Amino acid sequence: MASGGRASSVERACRLALTGTPGTGKTTIASLLADSGIAVESVEKLSERHGCIGDVDPSDNARPVDLEALYSLLEDEWQDPPASITVIDGHLSHNLPVDGVILLRCSPNDLEERLERRSYSGAKTMENVEWEILGGAWNEHRGDVPWIEFDTSADSAEVIVTTLRDWMADGFKPMSPDLAIDWVAVHEG
């Protein structure tokens, strides 16, 4: 487990990353989790608080995060568990010293529509759709922390939150899905 080898269980508070390609539903799920009493903090706020975020890059309107510096600072700060289960919201959150990962996925067609509604540029939309097709955060999966994956194009946010709370209550079992969602196989099938 991350952060000093703590065991993940609902009896012991922990930090869970809520990650996924932009547009997969992280903000919606984070809001529902917060409404249900779970503490939620964003990668952006953590980065700001620790001085690990830059100014808006005009090429993509994003603020670059110094993940290496933020990880190092949080690894020291997070040696002790939080007061309660805390969800770290952001597409980079799985790169932090967390105790588990909640990965949101979305069918590439639905994702493209969502990003176009957000007025993403064509290039930024395609970059994110391609990242989702390739498996996104799964490509960065490391460590032995529990991971759970949801298809937000198939399940409602309320169903996902209920399933997620059940997963937490059951001690994060299963520790990882048997198979990751494979959009290429789904499209070919």
pLDDT digits (tens, 9 = 90+) for 108-153: 999 999 999 999 999 999 999 999 998 877 777 777 889 999 999 9
Q: Look at residue 187 and tell me if it is in a domain.
A: no
Q: Look at residue 186 and tell me if it is in a domain.
A: no
Q: How many domains does the chain have?
A: 1
Q: Look at residue 14 and tell me if it is in a domain.
A: yes
Across 55-74, b (16+ Cβ under 10 Å) vs e yields eeeeeeeeeebeeeebeebb
Q: Look at residue 189 and tell me if it is in a domain.
A: no
Residue 7 clears pLDDT 60, i.e. is over it: no
Domain span at residue 38 reads 2-178
* Between 10 and 156, the higher pLDDT residue: 156
Q: Which residue has the tokens 């529902």?
A: 32
**What percentage of residues in the chain have a pLDDT greater than 70?**
90
Q: Look at residue 73 and tell me if it is in a domain.
A: yes
pLDDT digits (tens, 9 = 90+) for 16-62: 999 999 999 999 999 999 999 999 999 999 999 999 999 988 877 78
Helix axes 108-117, 122-133, angle to 10 degrees: 150
Q: What pLDDT is recorded for position 8? A: 38
Query: CA–CA separation, 106 vs 130, rounded Å?
Result: 12
Query: CA–CA separation, 43 vs 41, rounded Å?
Result: 7
Q: Look at residue 118 and tell me if it is in a domain.
A: yes
* Average pLDDT over all residues of the chain: 87
Nearest to 65 by CA among 48, 53, 49, 56: 53
Q: Look at residue 78 and tell me if it is in a domain.
A: yes
Task: Please compute the mean of the pLDDT values over residues 89-106 and round it to a whole number.
Answer: 94
**Domain holding 130: CATH number?**
3.40.50.300
Phi-psi region of 79 (alpha: psi -120 to 50; beta: other; left: phi over 0): alpha
Q: Look at residue 188 and tell me if it is in a domain.
A: no
Task: Please compute the mean of the pLDDT values over residues 71-85 and round it to a whole number.
Answer: 93
